[in-house]
Structure formats: C-alpha cells, structure tokens
Structure 1
Amino acid sequence: MDETFGPEYVRPQQSDCSRCGCCTAALCEKGRNSLLRCQGHVDDGHRETVYGCPCSAETTKHTASWRMAQVRVTRTARELPLVAEAEALLRALAAGGTAEDPEGAFPQLKLRGLGQIVHGLPAITPLGHTYLAAKEDVRAATAVRVVDVDRKARTVRVEVAAWRPDEPVTVLMDQITTDSGLDVDSLPGRWLTVDANCHAPDADRLVLTGFRASAPLPAGWMGVDGGEAQ
C-alpha cells in the first residue's frame, strides 16, 4: 500500500537554558528582552513552570523588566511618593538594624517591591534603594543623542550629554517611543531631551525618564548644524 501521508514533522529539540533550569535558552532570550518576561511567551500549561524565571525578572540587572522597574520606581518617588510613615520605615530599613513598624506600613513597601522578608525580618530591596536614590538625587533636563536601535532586543543606545557623552547607555525602545510619540525609524542620530540624575556613578544607577523631542540646538554644539534637532 502506498503511504498517503507525507513524512511526520518533529519539532527540533530546543536546548535548555544554562542559567535557570526552567526554560529553554530561546525562551529566556525572548523573555529577557520583553516586559512580558518568560511567563508571557508560553501557553497556559507552562506558565506556572516558568513563572518567576530569574533570567527575565525585574530583580535581574539589564533585563527589560529590570530597566522598566528602575523607571517606574524613579517616577513613583518623584510623582507619587510613599506616605511619610512608609518612607520613614524604608529609610530605617536602609540604615540596617531592627526597624519598628507601629503604623503597619511594611505591606505597602512589599506590594511595591521596595521591601521583602529576609530570614523572617523586614528588609529593603534593591528597588527600595532605587526609590530612596530617586528622592535624594538631583534630576534635571539634559540632551541625549540616539546612537542606534536594536529592534530585536527592543533597546536603544543613547549618549547623555551632561553625564558621559562618550559612554552610551541602554534604554528601552518602547519607553522612548511611548514617551515622545516619535516613530522608531526616526530615532537613529536624533537629539532628544530627557530628565536624568547626571551625578549617577555608573550606567546602572543612571535613570532616564520623560523622553521628548528636543528644542532646536545651537549651531556647532557637539557637531550639530543648527536648526531643528534631528
């Protein structure tokens, strides 16, 4: 009898991620560059398995969710800060030692990712330190130039004029397009204005918020011909 069906297709086996043990390498690469994280790129049957994967978590530096968390917490600190009791508790936790919580403010810190329980005791998280830094840092408008766009990773490298203009920093592509309303195709080489903590000691502490189209730049300024910023 002649075979009426073609050869059976078998999907190639994907290699496991060497960092987490819960995902494939391909899934973690996608999750690392996505605000949906790994759990947002699997079906319902696998969501619980990959939930909380460290490769895409907001607690892991340089993931998309980490970058967005820095922006979110910085904006919260400046625009919608904690109530006084919760902020006082956060500062006490940052100082170390035992922190009293007579007002029961810790659940608010935990809900916002600023506090956690460590060995049965309240403690501050890295995002909690980001919040306090945002409250204390001087933030001001500065010019930035888009160096290039990585569409696959959905990131953009920019040079920050008032920080270290020769050291590009990475930001989320979607953050820039959402803030500014600009099309991604128009970004390479373009000058923008952004709010930044330009005294940050390194790129991981530098947080850029409020991307917007730049006002016209003076002729000759850092190689600009003058007129409208491009």
Structure 2
Amino acid sequence: MDETFGPEYVRPAQPDCTRCGCCTAALCEKGRTSVMRCLGHVGDAFRETVASCPCSAESTKHTSAWMLAQVRVTRLAQELPIPEAAELLLRDLAGGKVVAEPGEPFPQLKVRGLAQLVHGMPAITPLGLTYLMAKDEVRAATAVRVVDVDKKTRTARVEVVAWRPDEPVTVLMDQIATDSGLDVDSLPGRWLTADANCRAENADGLVLTGYRNSAPLPAGWMGVDDGEDQ
C-alpha cells in the first residue's frame, strides 16, 4: 500500500553562533536580551550544552542578565549586606591581597557571584567590585525620564537628570514596570524617581534602582507643560 503522506519535512539547520560555538546565532540573539539567558530558551536535552554560553552570561557586559546582575548586587549591598567577615575578605581580594586560606566567608561570596577561584586561588569578580562600589558610593533619588521602550529586547532608554540628562542609558523595561507598578505602554515620556549612583564615570557604572512615581514637576521644567501627565 502506498503512503498517502507527502515527503517528510526536515527543519533547515540554523547557522551556528560565530562567537560561542555552543549555540545557534538565533538562540544567542534571543539569549542576549533575556534575563533567562540562552539556557532559558532550550529544552532539557540542550541545557547542559548552552549553560555556560558567554553571549548571554551575566558576566558579559550589556546582556540583559548582566544588567539584572548589576541591579541585584546593588540592592544586596544596600538592603541585605553580607556579613562583616565576608566583606572584609572581599575588600582584601579587591586590594590584591593573596588569601591562601579564605575560610568560611569565601563560600558566602562565591554563591553570590562576588568571588571565584582562579587557578585555585580566591579572586574577586566584577560583580564583587560592583558590590563594593554600591556599599561605598553615594546613592540618591533623582528624576528620570523614560525616553522610549523596546518590547522586543525588553529594555528602555532613560535620561537621568542628576547624572547626564542629555545621555540616555539603557535599562531593563520590566524592572521599571515592576518597581513602579506602571503599565509598560504608559512608560514612554513619563517622569519617574529612581535611586542612582550619580557620580558614576560612565553608563556601564550607573545603576538605577527603586523606580517610583515622581512628584508633580514644575510647569515648564525641562519641557514639562501644565497639563502633562506625570
């Protein structure tokens, strides 16, 4: 009896990512703009293969996972700081001190991504440096204007008045919506208040937390009209 079905459909192979060697280009494009990284967009059979993909890692600058990690560690430093002994160890590592026997505090740093082993020796991570900066820097409330949002990448561009109001920075759109309780569609053009380290040298070092509705702005202030919605 002849088969009544047509030829078997085989999905065309997708091109590999040229940067990592473990994912397709399409997967890395999605992973870079997802807090779930590449790992969150594959089935169980491929999780181990893509788990360490650098294209979407929180250690790779400007990925969504990296932006989320900066916020997480900053909030950790401000709201739930690590024990004093662990912080002292972290500061020793930041200062380049060789610590052959780090003791009990090291696992606390490692599990939070603040320290790691390099050639068998404890070393501070970039996130560890972010933590110390968040502990030491002055953070203050500042007016923030949402310039626009990109729903595809789940990011927003914002202007930070107390930093550089003419230099928009990219932040996580969902962070703004979650913090403020506002609908994403209402964000473009809206003025908010957020906490920031306004002495940051560049956009990579600027971390915004605690987005909330701002008090009404004076009429005419930076282009705000009497009837404009806040």
Preserved CA contact (<8 Å) 1:114 1:125: yes
Preserved CA contact (<8 Å) 2:102 2:122: no
Preserved CA contact (<8 Å) 1:145 1:190: yes
The equivalent residue for 1:25 is: 25
**Bigger mean CA offset, 11-20 vs 96-105:** 96-105
CA distance in 1, matches of 2:33, 2:53: 13
Q: Residue deviations 1:127-165, cap 9 Å, x none?
A: 000000000110000011111111110000001011111
2:13 maps to a residue whose letter is: Q
Q: Please give the root-mean-square deviation of Cα atoms over the aligned residues, in Å.
A: 1.5
The equivalent residue for 1:208 is: 208
Q: What is the CA-CA distance between 1:99 and the residue it aligns to? A: 3.0
The equivalent residue for 2:56 is: 56
SS in structure 1 of the partner of residue 205 of structure 2: coil
Preserved CA contact (<8 Å) 1:217 1:229: no
Q: What is the CA-CA distance between 1:178 and the residue it aligns to? A: 0.7
The change in CA–CA distance for 1:221 and 1:64 in structure 2 (over 3 A counts) is same
CA distance in 2, matches of 1:229, 1:212: 15
Where do residues 54-133 of structure 1 align in structure 2 (5 Å cutoff)? Answer: 54-99=54-99, 103-133=103-133
Q: Residue deviations 1:155-209, cap 9 Å, x none?
A: 0000101111111000011101111110000011111110000000000000000
SS in structure 1 of the partner of residue 204 of structure 2: coil
Compute the TM-score of the two structures, normalised by the length of structure 2: 0.96
The change in CA–CA distance for 1:102 and 1:4 in structure 2 (over 3 A counts) is closer
SS in structure 2 of the partner of residue 90 of structure 1: helix
CA distance in 1, matches of 2:46, 2:2: 39
Identity of aligned residues (%): 76
CA distance in 1, matches of 2:65, 2:98: 31
CA distance in 1, matches of 2:20, 2:227: 50
Preserved CA contact (<8 Å) 2:156 2:172: yes
CA distance in 2, matches of 1:14, 1:103: 47
Q: Residue deviations 1:52-72, cap 9 Å, x none?
A: 111111000011110000000
1:110 maps to a residue whose letter is: K
Structure 2 residue runs of 5 or longer lacking an equivalent are: none
Q: Give the number of aligned pairs.
A: 230
CA distance in 2, matches of 1:19, 1:102: 35
Structure 1 residue runs of 5 or longer lacking an equivalent are: none
The equivalent residue for 1:145 is: 145
Compute the TM-score of the two structures, normalised by the length of structure 1: 0.96
The equivalent residue for 2:174 is: 174
